[in-house]
Amino acid sequence: MTTPLLSLRGLTKAYPGVVANDDVSLEIGPGEIHALLGENGAGKSTLVKMIYGLVKPDSGTMEFKGASFAPQDPRTARASGVGMVFQHFSLFDALTVAENIALGMENAPAMGQLAARIREVSQSYGLPLAPDRTVGDLSAGERQRVEIIRCLLQDPKLLIMDEPTSVLTPQEVAILFETLNKLQSEGTSILYISHKLEEIRTLCDSATILRLGKVVGTCVPAQTSARDMAEMMVGTALKTPQRSGTQVGEVILELDKLSLPPANDFGMPLRAISLNLRKGEVLGIGGVAGNGQDELLGALSGETTVGNGMITYKGQDLSSLGPNERRAIGLLSAPEERLGHAAAPDMSLVENAMLTGATREGLEKGGMLDWAAARKFADRIITAFDVRTPSAANAARSLSGGNLQKFVIGREVLQRPNVLVVNQPTWGVDASAAAAIRQALLDLAMGGAAVIVISQDLDELMEVSDRFAALNEGRLSPPRPAAGLTVDEIGLMMGGAHGLEAAHV
Amino acid sequence: MIRLEKRPQPSRTYALATPVLAVLATMFFGGVLFAILGKDPVQSIITIFWEPLFGEFSFYYRPQLLVKGAPLVLIAIGLALGFKAGIWNIGAEGQYIMGAIFGAGMGLAFYPTESVFIFPLMILAGAFGGWLWATIPAVLKVKFGTNEILVSLMLVYVAEQLLASVSLGLLKNPEGFGFPGSRNLQQYASAHNAELITGSGMHWGVVAAFIAVIFAYVLLARHRLGFAIRVTGEAPRAARFSGVNPARLILFCLGISGMLAGLAGMFEAAGPAGQITIDFNVGYGFTAIIVAFLGRLHPIGILLAGLLMALTYIGGDIAQSQLQLPAAAIQVFQGMLLFFLLAFDLLTNYHLRIGNTEVTP
């Protein structure tokens, strides 16, 4: 047996009130792609931050290339050969690719030399990228390439990737996987964090599963079913959302060439979106982030006003109605951004229940607010959607992301909408809570409501949708029945690899 | 190393304690300032805070507390409604002047007719003057996206020029021997905002201030509009999502704060000041900004803060005359109050950590 490249023994890290990592041990061999699996809050981030020198462990040891390893900061970690690609990019929009990369380097070479190096690396790893392009013009997939190339220029022995595919189309994912496989064949090890189980099954050699900070199992992903891995992550048997014979009724919401100019210089316009939504159906809208999802939700919720006749609800033109008037007739929505958009962070859950519930729940009479009724409504949401909070008086920002999401979705679902529009309904929510939210959406549809689910999670969309459409550059592809759609077809609806093919390696 | 760590939710204890801490810190550092100026610090602080309330001449100073506190509270209540929504009316001083000009102008237009309708008409005119002056920045902001801070502030100086103009022209007392000011409304019974109980300092402006406190309290705690104001200040996008129309809210908040400032100006002109003069305004509109923040933008807090501020005004005057403290030192002292309040405010939302601990994720 060869010496592992990286071995962690008994790593423990506690924060006030929570043990983020408890006696975590794992080994990664040279040239191994190792998956780190776990729900939100399982301790994946803390663990990789310790490896990358951002956080110091309370106890336990690390060995890298056979020698003791205790990086003081990311710079030492990089110098030893650990690279990391974060989920959120740290790039300057106004600078070029080469300038951005130079900014992150210890001793950046002259710009011309660096550009040549970038071209060389990008070609040899099949990551097409022009060094002189401005980052602001790049797609999410291309931005990720900038981050990856930035790491590769340092010639890492271990590359840590945090949820790399969450911003990619299936075609872009394929390009990324080719790159990772090439790196692997050259002996680079990869620590791959994800909760997308099918990806892990195709890509990774081994997997370590974390739950509540502890290692709960290891497995060979290719030989383990996605369901088994999910159940190890969650610790209980998972319920797949169920639906029984949906009766699709008449058209309730109609969009006719819905168009909207961009809100600002970096905004995305909506371009002639047309669709018919029927009672009892779930329409899934996919697409890479930033292709008009927020804008579409805003136009439907009434936050932005659109031209006459572009949105019709039960034959009524909605264009001049504001959010509350739309709520009154049964068109409800839940935006993606929980803190600051769907909920006011510093306000209590009672106040946040009032935020959208005032009209339909009768929490307001003649302008005067009935706080006792709002409190009851908030308590009902908390009970029905299993929101974990000490009380409804707690501030929204004190809840974990998943709990607040349950609250935000529950608040709209409990108001008995006729049409509900949700954007990223299970983003950052653990698997069992996500299943509960999806079930609630399906139940709504079964009760005769129409639901639009905007999401970047294709598995989720395939699970809940009757029909599927994709947003790309503010355009909506014609909706197609979801059953029988292949990943390739979906990818093409989403805009393929945004006009880029994998360079031939 | 000192580090700040965000609290999971704002601390109620600190939200209530910071004004007290700020007053104590101001007393201490104010004392240091007075000591550097060669005055007895303890004596100075006692003069400012104790003399007006319990000193030998408190029978004179106590009513002054209401006279000076009322306009501050009235203006600050209006400002706080806007500030809570992130709408910054800095020009209350100008709206105060316009309220005084409109109110006094209305009264003088009827001179020397006596009628019970004159005073109510003056109240309406004063409110209208202040509302008009505040609606200018509101409309410009809604229509053209101008900055209400700059526009409302610049309109203060326009209002001062108008004040000078009417004092020397339109409203000038024809029997005033060339003095730049209007007739004395205290000598015009129908227009006089007299004390309701002699020697108490209680005039209609004080009543209006109390009504404004109650009105604002109910509005913020119980009414949809008050809720809209609070959500807009906390999270503008969430407010829009909940159905708040930002343009209407701007017009309302600036309008009502202008109206209250105008009322304060009118009550002052018809009561304690008695007339419009070229130097009629003494900075209530600006001091009210401090009062609004010192009172945590909360109606009850503003009531207390207004009285405290009035106390430092009166005590400051006493200290000037008895201890020969320079007026500038008193102003620095009042400024300290806002400075320390904002500084201690940080503790409401943050823990202070001392020591070199590592960064948490």
Residue A14: which of A50, A40, A38, A53 has the closest Cα? Answer: A50
Does the beta carbon of A415 lie under 8 angstroms from any beta carbon of chain B? no
Contact in structure between A246 and A227 (CB atoms under 8 Å): no
Does the beta carbon of A226 lie under 8 angstroms from any beta carbon of chain B? no
Give the H/E segment covering residue B319.
helix B299-323
Q: Which residue has the tokens 């005032």?
A: A358
Supply A496's token pair: 């393929």
Question: Which pLDDT band, with edges at 50, 70 and 90, does A235 fall under?
Answer: confident
List phi, psi (to 5°) of B35: -65, -40
Cis amide bond preceding A335, omega within 30: no
Query: Does some domain include residue B22?
Result: no
Nearest Cα of chain A lies from the Cα of B79 at a distance, in angstroms, of 22
| CB atoms closer than 10 angstroms to residue B137 | 28
Give the H/E segment covering residue B202.
none
pLDDT for A470 beyond 70 = yes
Q: Which residues of chain B make contact with A412, given a CB cutoff of 8 A?
A: none
Does the beta carbon of A25 lie under 8 angstroms from any beta carbon of chain B? no
Q: Which residues of chain B make contact with A356, given a CB cutoff of 8 A?
A: 241-242
| CB atoms closer than 10 angstroms to residue B175 | 7
Q: How far is CA A107 from CA A79, A90, A91, A111, in A?
A: 12, 19, 18, 12
More confidently predicted of A413 and A432: A413
Nearest residue on chain A to B359, alpha-carbon basis: A55
Q: Which residues of chain A make contact with B10, given a CB cutoff of 8 A?
A: 346, 395
Query: Which of A350, A369, A371 is most worth mutating to test chain B (most B CB atoms within 10 A of its CB)?
Result: A369
In SS3 terms, A50-66 reads as: HHCCCCCCCEEEEEECC
Q: How far is CA B317 from CA B18, B200, B277, B310, B327, in A?
A: 26, 20, 21, 11, 8
Mean pLDDT across the stretch A109-118? 88
CA dihedral A262, A268, A270, A276 (to 10 degrees): -140
The partner residues of A62 in beta bridges, in order of sequence, read A8
Nearest Cα of chain A lies from the Cα of B227 at a distance, in angstroms, of 9
Q: Which residues of chain B make contact with A346, given a CB cutoff of 8 A?
A: 9-10, 234-235
For residue B331, give every residue at least 6 positions away whose Cβ sits within 8 Å of its Cβ, in sequence order, or none.
none
Helices (runs of H) and strands (runs of E) counted in chain A: 16, 23
Q: How far is CA B265 from CA A307, B255, B269, B303, in A?
A: 46, 15, 6, 18
pLDDT for A502 beyond 70 = no
Give the H/E segment covering residue B107.
helix B92-110
Nearest residue on chain A to B349, alpha-carbon basis: A346
Q: How far is CA A267 from the centre of its chain?
A: 20
Do the chains contact at B225 and A343, CB–CB below 8 Å? no
What gap in Å lies between CA A129 and CA A113, rounded to an integer?
Answer: 16
Do the chains contact at A345 and B230, CB–CB below 8 Å? no
List phi, psi (to 5°) of A405: -60, -40
Residues A352-391: tens digit of each pLDDT:
999 999 999 999 998 899 999 999 999 999 999 989 888 9
Spans of chain B, pLDDT less than 70: 1, 355-361
User: Helix crossing, B118-144 with B148-168: angle to 10°?
Assistant: 140
Strands A450-454 and A419-423: parallel
Question: What pLDDT does residue A137 have?
Answer: 79
Query: Does some domain include residue B165?
Result: yes
Nearest Cα of chain A lies from the Cα of B34 at a distance, in angstroms, of 40
With H, G, I as helix, E, B as strand and everything else as coil, classify residue A27.
Answer: strand
Do the chains contact at A356 and B242, CB–CB below 8 Å? yes
| Residue among A340, A371, A394 whose CB faces B235 most closely | A340
Query: Does some domain include residue B4?
Result: no
Nearest residue on chain A to B361, alpha-carbon basis: A46
Q: Between A and B, how many residue pairs show a Cβ–Cβ distance under 8 A?
A: 88
Does the beta carbon of A56 lie under 8 angstroms from any beta carbon of chain B? yes
Q: Which residue has the tokens 């200040």?
A: B233
Q: Which residues of chain A make contact with B230, given a CB cutoff of 8 A?
A: 347, 351
Q: How far is CA B156 from the centre of its chain?
A: 14
Does the beta carbon of A49 lie under 8 angstroms from any beta carbon of chain B? yes
Query: Does some domain include residue B202?
Result: yes
Task: Supply the DSSP string of B40-108, one letter for each residue.
Answer: -HHHHHHHHHTHHHHSTTHHHHHHHHHHHHHHHHHHHHHHHHHHHTT-----HHHHHHHHHHHHHHHHH
Contact in structure between B99 and B264 (CB atoms under 8 Å): yes
Strands A270-278 and A251-260: antiparallel
| CB atoms closer than 10 angstroms to residue B31 | 18
Question: What pLDDT does residue A496 have?
Answer: 60
The ipTM is 0.84
More confidently predicted of B5 and A296: A296
Chain A, 291 to 330: residues with Cβ < 8 Å from chain B are: 301-303, 322-325, 327
With H, G, I as helix, E, B as strand and everything else as coil, classify residue A258.
Answer: strand
More confidently predicted of A75 and A168: A75
Could you tell me what percent of chain B has a pLDDT over 70?
Answer: 98
CA dihedral A23, A28, A33, A39 (to 10 degrees): 0
Residue A381: which of A338, A412, A360 has the closest Cα? Answer: A412
List phi, psi (to 5°) of A218: -130, 155
Supply A202's token pair: 């195709």
Chain length of chain B: 361
- Which structural domain, as residue segments, surrounds residue B260? 74-308
Residue A322: which of A341, A303, A306, A307 has the closest Cα? Answer: A303
Question: What pLDDT does residue A444 have?
Answer: 94
Question: What pLDDT does residue B342 have?
Answer: 82
| Residue among B8, B241, B358 whose CB faces A335 most closely | B241
Query: Does some domain include residue B2?
Result: no
Mean pLDDT across the stretch A93-110? 85
With H, G, I as helix, E, B as strand and everything else as coil, classify residue A168.
Answer: coil
Q: Where are the beta strands (DSSP E) in A32-117?
A: 33-37, 59-64, 67-68, 82-85
Q: Which residues of chain B make contact with A357, given a CB cutoff of 8 A?
A: none
Contact in structure between B89 and B141 (CB atoms under 8 Å): no
Residues A417-445: tens digit of each pLDDT:
999 999 999 887 777 788 889 999 999 99
Alpha helices in A264-348 (DSSP H): 293-301, 323-329
Query: Which domains can be identified in chain A, with CATH numbers?
Result: 6-234 (3.40.50.300), 251-493 (3.40.50.300)
| Residue among A15, A369, A394 whose CB faces B223 most closely | A369
| Residue among B224, B230, B237 whose CB faces A340 most closely | B237
What gap in Å lies between CA A371 and CA A363, rounded to an integer?
Answer: 7
Query: Which of B7, B9, B219, B296 is most worth mutating to test chain A (most A CB atoms within 10 A of its CB)?
Result: B9
| Residue among B224, B241, B245 whose CB faces A369 most closely | B224
Q: Which residues of chain A make contact with B242, given a CB cutoff of 8 A?
A: 323-324, 355-356, 358
Task: Supply the DSSP string of B158-173, one letter for each residue.
Answer: HHHHHHHHHHHTTT--
Nearest residue on chain A to B358, alpha-carbon basis: A55
Q: Which residue has the tokens 């209350």?
A: B92
The rounded mean pLDDT for chain A is 87
Nearest Cα of chain A lies from the Cα of B14 at a distance, in angstroms, of 15
Chain length of chain A: 505
Do the chains contact at B243 and A346, CB–CB below 8 Å? no
Q: Which residues of chain B make contact with A327, given a CB cutoff of 8 A?
A: 243
Query: Which of A50, A84, A355 is most worth mutating to test chain B (most B CB atoms within 10 A of its CB)?
Result: A355
Query: Does some domain include residue B324?
Result: no
Do the chains contact at A344 and B231, CB–CB below 8 Å? yes
Residue A195: which of A499, A490, A453, A432 has the closest Cα? Answer: A432
Contact in structure between B66 and B200 (CB atoms under 8 Å): yes
Mean pLDDT across the stretch A452-468? 89
Q: Which residues of chain B make contact with A355, given a CB cutoff of 8 A?
A: 231, 238, 241-242
Q: How far is CA A185 from the centre of its chain?
A: 29
Q: Which residues of chain B make contact with A213, given a CB cutoff of 8 A?
A: none
List phi, psi (to 5°) of A494: -80, 0
Query: Does some domain include residue B333?
Result: no
Q: Which residues of chain A make contact with B361, given a CB cutoff of 8 A?
A: 15, 20, 45-46, 49, 54-55
Do the chains contact at B225 and A367, CB–CB below 8 Å? yes
B283 by Cβ neighbours in 10 Å (0-12 / 13-18 / 19+) ranks as exposed
Does the beta carbon of A43 lie under 8 angstroms from any beta carbon of chain B? no
Q: Where are the beta strands (DSSP E) in A279-360?
A: 282-286, 311-313, 316-317, 331-334
Do the chains contact at B243 and A302, CB–CB below 8 Å? yes
Q: Which residues of chain B make contact with A354, given a CB cutoff of 8 A?
A: 227
What gap in Å lies between CA A51 and CA A43, rounded to an integer?
Answer: 13
Q: What is the tally of structural domains in chain B? A: 1
Nearest residue on chain A to B348, alpha-carbon basis: A346
List phi, psi (to 5°) of B42: -65, -45
Residues A241-281: tens digit of each pLDDT:
776 556 788 999 999 999 999 877 667 889 999 999 999 99
Alpha helices in A132-255 (DSSP H): 140-152, 170-185, 197-203, 226-234
List phi, psi (to 5°) of B291: -60, -45
Supply A428's token pair: 């950052």
Query: Does some domain include residue B314?
Result: no
- Binning chain A into helix, strand and coil, the percentages to the nearest 5 are 35, 25, 40
Do the chains contact at A342 and B243, CB–CB below 8 Å? no
Do the chains contact at B8 and A397, CB–CB below 8 Å? yes
Do the chains contact at A323 and B9, CB–CB below 8 Å? no
Contact in structure between B238 and A344 (CB atoms under 8 Å): yes
- For chain B, the residues whose C-beta falls within 8 A of a C-beta of chain A are 8-10, 222-225, 227, 230-231, 234-235, 237-243, 245, 358-361
What gap in Å lies between CA A50 and CA A57, rounded to an integer?
Answer: 6
Do the chains contact at B243 and A324, CB–CB below 8 Å? yes
Nearest Cα of chain A lies from the Cα of B242 at a distance, in angstroms, of 5
Give the H/E segment covering residue B35.
helix B12-36
| CB atoms closer than 10 angstroms to residue A166 | 17
What gap in Å lies between CA B245 and CA B226, rounded to an integer?
Answer: 13
Question: What pLDDT does residue A499 have?
Answer: 44
| Residue among B225, B245, B361 whose CB faces A322 most closely | B245
More confidently predicted of A465 and A128: A465
Question: What pLDDT does residue A462 have?
Answer: 86
Nearest residue on chain B to A301, alpha-carbon basis: B241
Contact in structure between A149 and A122 (CB atoms under 8 Å): yes
What gap in Å lies between CA B132 and CA B128, rounded to an integer?
Answer: 6
